[in-house]
């Protein structure tokens, strides 16, 4: 090889090296931009981490005995009380499994098999009255657990979960989900004297109470009004008490009896209210934003009394506490006399997590704070609650299905809108929205 050939070879190798370095730099930048774009959509790592662990509760804590009449039923909580399933947990779980299939945590074939088998259990074996399910069932055989009540709200959660799965998978799953929906006699559960849903029913004592105040029940009115078989009076949506108050210097909003933040979350897990207002001009999504901010403000104002509380530890809602489950945990304003709220310093991670679509910055900051507390993390992500006001510090041993459910569904809606997108496609959901008179707003 002469010196010119050698020189040309060096030049060629230099050019190739330069191209390699430039290409590598370009590729790294592209990957960085894609990663940043993905993070912008998906959020910080704790969202994926907690979502996947929450999903695993619904996948693992289910009856997987295919020969059982309780196949697919999901435990109310874990690890305690393993024989008790809840209809609400199943409703959240049907949507959770759908999310798991979309995110490739399980295969679509695995998800379809589990969901279809669960729907068969609900159609053929699960005890109900006029299509309205008992709140709690024995997980082995789908019979009524103890003296459990027939619950319209838990049935509504179940139907919402089934509809979501039906819209996503279509085919037999959609048909079976809608068969379960068609069977629910919503009007049977309505008190004709005041046009309100009863609070509960049992064969031994009949109907009791009334859904007479704002709470988590918005879904019931839309599912009832949209029913193709037993439609309810759409005016029910406007007949419950709408009491509006503000907390501190915040904006007034329609609040619930105990001020528990889940009451402003559960219906929103499936119904996308962002661009609707009702006949009275209420945008219920905006109402939940105000409620979430008020809940956090209340906690911050109480931080000098409770060590657990702080700007990144908030979201008072029904949960386990040091003395057992407490449905009265909540924040002001609440109740007809504005003093029904109660707290003992217990904080459940699901409170802030379930408001992530309303207060994303504040909710993510709370989840990242909880991540720094090792005792709060378990097999299924964050445990149900913790309390630093007693000695020793208290951390829940269990996770609860409805708390894992609202966490997973709301995080997914924040990240992708997946649950909203599928559920809102349903024709009966849209019929209910139309019957009640919700109007699109910009």
pLDDT 10s digits, 101-144: 999 999 999 999 999 999 999 999 999 999 999 999 999 999 99
Q: How confident is the model at residue 442, as a pLDDT?
A: 75
Is 28 in the same domain as 152? Answer: no
Note whether residue 1 is domain-resident: yes
CA atoms of 338 and 258, how far apart (whole Å): 9
For the chain, first and last CA: distance in Å?
Answer: 75
Which segments within 206-353 are labelled E, that is strand?
Answer: 206-208, 244-245, 253-254, 276-277, 319-321, 324-326
Average pLDDT over residues 426-435: 98
Contact partners, residue 46, CB within 8 Å, separation at least 6: 364, 367, 368, 371
CATH number (domain holding residue 147): 1.50.10.140
Note whether residue 43 is domain-resident: no
Is 29 in the same domain as 139? Answer: no
pLDDT digits (tens, 9 = 90+) for 365-419: 999 999 999 999 999 999 999 999 999 999 999 999 999 999 999 999 999 999 9
- For residue 116, the SS3 value is helix
Lowest-confidence range among 203-217, 221-235, 333-347, 360-374? 333-347
Beta carbons of 219 and 161 less than 8 angstroms apart? no
CA atoms of 276 and 207, how far apart (whole Å): 33
Residue 186 CB: number of other CB atoms within 10 A?
28
pLDDT score of 41 more than 70: no
User: Which of 100, 2, 117, 20 lies closest to 53 in space, CA to CA?
Assistant: 100
Note whether residue 40 is domain-resident: no
Is 293 in the same domain as 238? Answer: yes
Tokens of 266: 């559960």
| Residue 189 dihedral angles phi and psi, to the nearest 5° | -85, 0
pTM for the complete prediction? 0.91
Is 63 in the same domain as 12? Answer: no
pLDDT digits (tens, 9 = 90+) for 329-379: 999 999 866 666 789 999 999 999 999 999 999 999 999 999 999 999 999
Beta carbons of 139 and 125 less than 8 angstroms apart? no
Q: How confident is the model at residue 39, as a pLDDT?
A: 39
Lowest-confidence range among 17-21, 113-117, 182-186, 240-244? 17-21
Note whether residue 42 is domain-resident: no
Is 396 in the same domain as 304? Answer: yes
pLDDT score of 297 more than 60: yes
Is 255 in the same domain as 232? Answer: yes
Is 198 in the same domain as 99? Answer: yes
Burial of 17 from C-beta contacts in 10 A (0-12 / 13-18 / 19+): exposed
Q: How confident is the model at residue 3, as a pLDDT?
A: 54
Q: How confident is the model at residue 166, as a pLDDT?
A: 98
Count of residues in the chain = 442
Q: What is the mean pLDDT of the chain?
A: 93
Note whether residue 338 is domain-resident: yes
Q: How confident is the model at residue 230, as a pLDDT?
A: 98
* Pairing between β-strand 253-254 and β-strand 244-245 as defined by DSSP bridges: antiparallel
Is 304 in the same domain as 413? Answer: yes
Is 422 in the same domain as 398? Answer: yes
Note whether residue 170 is domain-resident: yes
Average pLDDT over residues 279-291: 98
Average pLDDT over residues 201-225: 98
Is 159 in the same domain as 30? Answer: no
Helix (H) or strand (E) holding 53, with range, is helix 45-60
Is 234 in the same domain as 377? Answer: yes
Note whether residue 41 is domain-resident: no
Contact partners, residue 130, CB within 8 Å, separation at least 6: 184, 185, 188, 189
User: Which of 331, 340, 267, 264 lies closest to 295 in space, CA to CA?
Assistant: 331
pLDDT score of 211 more than 70: yes
Beta carbons of 104 and 110 less than 8 angstroms apart? no
Q: What is the largest CA-CA distance in the chain?
A: 106
- % of the chain exceeding 70 in pLDDT: 90
Beta carbons of 341 and 334 less than 8 angstroms apart? yes
Q: Which of 337-367 are b and which e, b meaning 16 or more Cβ less than 10 Å from the residue's Cβ?
A: eeebbbbebbbbbbbbbbbbbbbeebbbbbb
pLDDT band (50, 70, 90) for residue 33? very low
Q: Which residues pair with 241 in a beta bridge?
A: 213
Per the structure, how many domains does the chain have? 2
Note whether residue 70 is domain-resident: yes
* Structural domain for 157, as ranges: 48-440
pLDDT score of 6 more than 60: no
Is 24 in the same domain as 66? Answer: no
């Amino acid at each position: 090889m002469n010196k010119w050939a050698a020189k040309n070879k060096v030049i060629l190798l230099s050019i190739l090296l330069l191209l390699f370095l430039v290409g590598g730099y370009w590729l790294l930048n592209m990957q960085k931009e894609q990663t940043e774009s993905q993070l912008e959509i998906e959020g910080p790592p704790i969202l994926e981490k907690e979502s996947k662990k929450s999903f695993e509760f619904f996948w693992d804590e289910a009856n997987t005995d295919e020969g059982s009449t309780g196949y697919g039923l999901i435990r109310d909580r874990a690890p305690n009380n393993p024989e008790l399933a809840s209809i609400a947990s199943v409703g959240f779980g049907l949507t959770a499994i759908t999310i798991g299939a979309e995110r490739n945590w399980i295969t679509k074939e695995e998800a379809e098999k589990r969901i279809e088998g669960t729907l068969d259990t609900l159609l053929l074996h699960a005890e109900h009255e006029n299509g309205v399910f008992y709140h709690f069932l024995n997980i082995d055989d789908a019979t009524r657990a103890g003296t459990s009540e027939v619950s319209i709200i838990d049935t509504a959660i179940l139907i919402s979960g089934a509809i979501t799965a039906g819209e996503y998978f279509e085919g037999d799953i959609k048909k079976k989900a809608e068969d379960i929906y068609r069977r629910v006699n919503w009007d049977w559960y309505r008190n004709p004297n005041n046009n309100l849903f009863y609070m509960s029913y049992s064969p031994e004592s009949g109907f009791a109470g009334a859904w007479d105040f704002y709470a988590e029940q918005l879904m019931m009115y839309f599912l009832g009004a949209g029913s193709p078989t037993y439609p309810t009076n759409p005016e029910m949506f406007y007949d419950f008490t709408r009491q509006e108050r503000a907390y501190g210097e915040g904006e007034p909003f329609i609040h619930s009896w105990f001020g528990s933040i889940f009451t402003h979350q559960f219906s929103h897990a499936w119904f996308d209210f962002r661009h609707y207002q009702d006949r009275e001009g209420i945008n219920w999504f905006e109402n939940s934003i105000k409620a979430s901010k008020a809940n956090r403000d209340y906690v911050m104002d109480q931080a000098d009394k409770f060590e657990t509380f702080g700007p990144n530890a908030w979201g008072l809602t029904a949960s386990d506490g040091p003395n057992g489950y407490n449905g009265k945990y909540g924040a002001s304003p609440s109740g007809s006399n504005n003093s029904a709220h109660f707290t003992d310093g217990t904080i459940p991670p699901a409170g802030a997590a379930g408001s992530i679509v309303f207060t994303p910055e504040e909710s993510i900051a709370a989840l990242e704070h909880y991540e720094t507390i090792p005792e709060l993390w378990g097999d299924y992500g964050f445990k149900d609650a913790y309390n630093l006001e007693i000695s020793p510090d208290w951390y829940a041993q269990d996770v609860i299905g409805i708390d894992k459910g609202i966490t997973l569904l709301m995080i997914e809606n924040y990240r992708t809108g997946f649950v909203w997108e599928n559920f809102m496609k349903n024709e009966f959901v849209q019929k209910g929205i139309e019957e009640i008179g919700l109007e699109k707003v910009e």
